Amino acid sequence: MKIVTAAEMGEIDRLTTVKYGIAAQTLMESAGECVSRFILSFFSGRQRITVVCGKGNNGGDGMVAARRLHEQGKDVVVVLLGRPEETKGDAKHNLERLPFPPVSVLSELELELHKSLLLNTDLIVDAIFGTGFRPPLPPLAATFIGLIANSDVPVVSADLPSGVDADSLTVEQPGACRSDAIVTFTALKPSLVFTALTRGPIVVHAIGSPEEIVQSKLGLEWNSPPNILRSQRPLNSHKGLYGHALVIGGSLGKSGAPSMSSLAALRVGAGLVTCAAPKSILPIIAGYAPELMTEALDECQGGTLSVDALEEPMAKGLLAGKTVVGIGPGLGQDEDTQRAIRRFAARCEVPLVIDADGLNAFAGQAKLLDGSKRPLVLTPHPGEMSRLSGLKVAEIEANRVEIGRRFAQEHQVILVLKGWRTLIADQVGTVWVNTTGNPGLAKGGSGDVLTGLVTGLIAQFPDSVLEAVRAAVYLHGLAADLTLQTQTERTMLATDILLALPDALRAIRKYEDFTWIQRGETDR
């Protein structure tokens, strides 16, 4: 799904009407119906509903939702910020179709008189401003949004939370309307994926615009769950069909990292997984899961890989029959170990996933990373990306999309830049934005699990490496989201993500009426 600017969204709406003959009023009716259907599905216990409408198209969406909710037996009040005669076009048409008169608020004084409408209600629908809004907020709207912020009533926003610049990439939006759920239409806008607008759900629904006219020059896509996550295995399957993954990692005191990566590769479906690690910690790894195969590697006195650990003939034996290699988790930053990593990466001819200390081996030497000879996947967090690129973390965080895009193109790699809204940049300049995941992932081991998922999915789909990477990132975040059903963001462990993988895969295969951009809690 493409991510479009406000101007591009306006052009999509225009072409829908001009080129395909779908009336703007039809689009508005469909948008309002989507909002009402979402509320009836996920806030079904809320009987008294206040719909706060502006005078433009977003207000018109809210009026349709109000009418539909009223038809379903809800007690609905519409608050219009302005005079009824000031509404125009399709919004005016839907105002006239309301089966009850709106409460018109013209000033902050009148707003004070009607404050009880926000206190004595079960749900607020925010339909003041949508994609077309540009700051600053008018004083009356700003005051109303302030009142909503101070209430404890759930808020569902139509299209966007009012007060948000649709094209903004800024994480914090202090002037935006508080929102517990967002229902948007047709396509995503930058603010919906890059800005922290809600901890609740964000859903998108088609309202009639043909898919072929949803075009964007941003080079940004939403990382929707790839189809490989929905594929079923043939009944006559055997382990040889699903690849053999090799995970190289670990050092004294860091046996958990390669163990979690290896188990994640197995859990996500790789036919065989071998973990190669320094021989002193191999018994720990072998005891982690009986399904794992292991290979002992030579080590230094400190329990890290020796400089010759991955030289021939050991490297040739390790790579024999392997579909993909994941290297880095827990290897440490000993100079000999880093030299061994660089030499191995230069010789490896199968798809290679580099993470953690594998990436640190290339700090200041990113020129050695060349994905043109075989697929190369890098999974840095901002600190590792800083060491690779020579840029400060603050610089990277301020311009993540373009820095990630440029690095992936220059080195012909698939780059997974982790963080708030993990990015997947490919070799031709497209960037996918992932919207699954939560702050519970900010804990040691989460990245090791992701490395294993990437490696395990590439093992099964070596001819679809990019799709496998995207699938792993999506699945990793979704499993973390589902983990919150039994854990909290503080108590979540990386191994809890592994336990939630079956539920995550089932959720992906389940039909949903709405496309879930971000899952969150509702009182369904």
Q: What is the pTM of this model?
A: 0.95
Per-residue pLDDT of the chain (524 residues; tens, 9 = 90+): 999 999 999 999 999 999 999 999 999 999 999 999 999 999 999 999 999 999 999 999 999 999 999 999 999 999 999 999 999 899 999 999 999 999 999 887 787 777 787 888 999 999 999 999 999 999 999 999 999 999 999 999 999 999 999 999 988 888 899 999 999 999 999 999 999 999 999 999 999 999 999 999 999 999 999 999 999 999 999 999 999 999 999 999 999 999 999 999 999 999 999 999 999 999 999 999 999 999 999 999 899 999 999 999 999 999 999 999 999 999 999 999 999 999 999 999 999 999 999 999 999 999 999 999 999 999 999 999 999 999 999 999 999 999 999 999 999 999 999 999 999 999 999 999 999 999 999 999 999 999 999 999 999 999 999 999 999 999 999 999 999 999 999 999 999 999 999 999 999 988 788 899 998 865 54
Contact 54, 82 (CB under 8 A): yes
In CATH terms, the fold of domain 6-218 is: Rossmann fold (3.40.50)
Nearest to residue 494, comparing CAs of 261, 243, 148?
261
Structure tokens at 52: 């706060």
- pLDDT value, residue 108: 77
d(CA 100, CA 321): 72
Does domain 238-511 fall under CATH 3.40.1190.20? My reply is: yes
Strand ranges, E, within 59-210: 75-81, 103-105, 123-127, 155-158, 181-185, 202-205
Structure tokens at 151: 């209430």
CA angle, residues 127, 512, 26, in degrees to nearest 5: 45
Indicate the DSSP class of residue 148: H
Torsion of CA 367, 373, 379, 381, to 10 degrees: 10
Structure tokens at 160: 């966007």
Three-class DSSP category at 244 = strand
d(CA 195, CA 435): 11
Encode 109-139: b = buried (16+ Cβ within 10 Å), e = exposed.
eebeebeebbeebbbbbbbbbbbbbeeebee
Nearest to residue 147, comparing CAs of 59, 45, 52?
52
- Report which secondary-structure segment, H or E, holds 424: strand 423-425
- pLDDT value, residue 524: 41
What is the distance in angstroms between the CA of the first residue and the CA of the last residue of the chain? 27
Rg of the Cα atoms in the chain: 26
Indicate where the chain has its CATH 3.40.1190.20 domain(s). 238-511
Q: Is the peptide bond before 462 cis (omega within 30 degrees of 0)?
A: no
Contact 36, 156 (CB under 8 A): no
- pLDDT value, residue 521: 67
Structure tokens at 153: 């009533």
Q: Residue 67 contacts by C-beta under 8 Å, 6 or more apart in sequence? A: 32, 94, 97, 98, 99
Indicate where the chain has its CATH 3.40.50.10260 domain(s). 6-218
Length of the chain: 524
Burial class (CB in 10 A: 0-12, 13-18, 19+), 212: exposed
